[in-house]
Amino acid sequence: MTKADEVMNTIDDGDFSNVDTLINESLQQDDDQTQFSLAETLMSRGLSVQAKIIYEHLLQFYPDEGQVLSRLAEIAVSDGDSDKALDYISQIDSDSPAYAENLLVSADIYQSQGLYEVSEQKLLTGIRTFPEEDVFKFAIAELYFDENLFSKALVYYDMLLDAGIDNYSGISIVLRKASSLAGDGQYEEAISEFEKLNAIELNEDAQYQLGFLYNQVKDYNKSIQTLEKLLEINHDYPTAYSILADDYLNIKKNDDAFKYAQLGLNLNELDERLYQIAFDAGVSEQPDEALKIIQKGIKTVETPLPLIIRLSDFYVTQGQYKNNLDLLSDVDINGNPKLTWNLAKSYFETDDIKKAQENILLVLDDYKDNLDYLTDVIEILRSSGDKDALKAALTLYLKQDPDNSEMQDLMDQI
């Protein structure tokens, strides 16, 4: 029995106390091939620390041996020492049997360093040099997938599928293709691929993606069916709630939309979209609660401006102009034309004509083609008595709606 055999027998027995001693004895007594085989076995067991001792020993006698250099590079990568790994890799010649492994490891290193173009070139070299090795096609597809270059990723996922490979290293290629199609905006095609997945492949994330895609193509009932099934398995899947709430809002089941928005906010109170859906769904049935929710959202989310605009629009359409003025009193609305318009209208309706005119004219360039806006401008200017400005506003209005007799009459009067 070789010392290498003793090492593995000891490990198999679960006794690690004497492993290092037996490895050192193997380095003294076993032949080089036996030592290399032991290192390979240790690596396969995840015992890279022990394997490294043997590889470093062998490297002293075989400094140009590509397989040894490649293994040491792998270990350096796992240890977080990219510089050391690249040093090992650089010593492997292109005619070495370990050159393919060299390309893969170096691509992995460069990707970990954020040097994606260098990593891409290493993998493309591998595809050209070793066209029969599917690992390079898979690796570059994964690189493109991670970088959201979905159209490029699809090319290589399709190559693997065409070769009959629908699973690689435990990763479903069909699922990757479906996700890539979704990322590329090809929603219908993505749905078709998702629907091919078996129960194991259609994991929670895949179910969420499928539900999201049904929502995007406005197949709200299928989205609801998919996401409610997901929540039966995992009711703590936070992003599913906003899609479900949106589904129900779109099919005008406001009670269900309101319910799911509230449930989602219990899991993630920073989700701006859930506050908006809760408000839109609840304002007709439970207005007091809906108002509390959106007001809380304005105080809670990182970027509350969309919620402020939504609530401001509500106050204006409901004629609650004083509430709108109170809402906007502490808001910096500079640069936001919609809130400036709402503010002007609220000033006008509360008889502050001067401030109404000041604000409404600030956004003329933004809304000069909007007849609703121009109607408000004309009404404010009529009250302020600014005939020159009123005439200019009427001119803009009649340019777009020349047959409006009321506006034409007003123009004739001035």
**Tens digits of per-residue pLDDT, 333-345?**
888 999 999 999 9
For residue 395, what are its two tokens? 């001119």
Q: Residue 218 in 3-state DSSP?
A: coil
| Residue 361: DSSP 8-state | G
Residue 202 lies in a domain: no
Is 16's pLDDT higher than 80?
A: no
Tokens 């004509």, located at residue: 353
Task: Convert the pLDDT of each residue in 294-308 to its tens digit.
Answer: 999 999 999 999 999
Kindly report the pTM of this predicted structure. 0.74
Contact 7, 22 (CB under 8 A): yes
Closest CA to 230 of 260, 250, 210, 246: 210
Q: What dihedral do alpha carbons 188, 191, 196, 199 form, nearest 10°? A: -170
**Residues contacting 269, CB < 8 A, separation 6+:** 300
Contact 57, 35 (CB under 8 A): yes
Q: Residue 302 in 3-state DSSP?
A: coil
Q: Average pLDDT, stretch 125-151? A: 95
pLDDT > 90: what percent of the chain?
63
Residue 334 lies in a domain: yes
**Residues contacting 216, CB < 8 A, separation 6+:** 187
Residue 362 lies in a domain: yes
Of 39-43, 94-98, 145-149, 406-410, the least confident? 94-98
Residue 355 lies in a domain: yes
d(CA 11, CA 28): 20
Residue 326 lies in a domain: yes
For residue 119, what are its two tokens? 């990593």
Backbone torsions φ then ψ of 235, nearest 5 degrees: -75, -5
The number of folded domains in the chain is 1
Residue 348 lies in a domain: yes
Facing residues of 247 across strands?
Answer: none
pLDDT > 70: what percent of the chain?
100
CATH at 397: 1.25.40.10
d(CA 369, CA 387): 20
d(CA 392, CA 410): 12
Task: From residue 298, give the alpha-carbon distance in Å to each of 162, 166, 283, 302, 306.
Answer: 51, 47, 16, 9, 9
Question: Which range marks the domain in which residue 398 is found?
Answer: 321-414
| Residue 132: DSSP 8-state | T
Indicate the pLDDT class of residue 40, thresholds 50, 70 and 90. Answer: confident
Q: Is residue 167 within a helix (H) or strand (E), and if so which, with residue range?
A: strand 167-168
Residue 97 lies in a domain: no
For residue 346, what are its two tokens? 């609220």
Is 90's pLDDT higher than 80?
A: no
d(CA 79, CA 377): 68
Residue 409 lies in a domain: yes
Task: Convert the pLDDT of each residue in 344-384 to its tens digit.
Answer: 999 999 999 999 999 999 999 999 999 999 999 999 999 99
Task: Convert the pLDDT of each residue in 216-273 to its tens digit.
Answer: 999 999 999 999 999 999 999 999 999 999 999 999 999 999 999 999 999 999 999 9
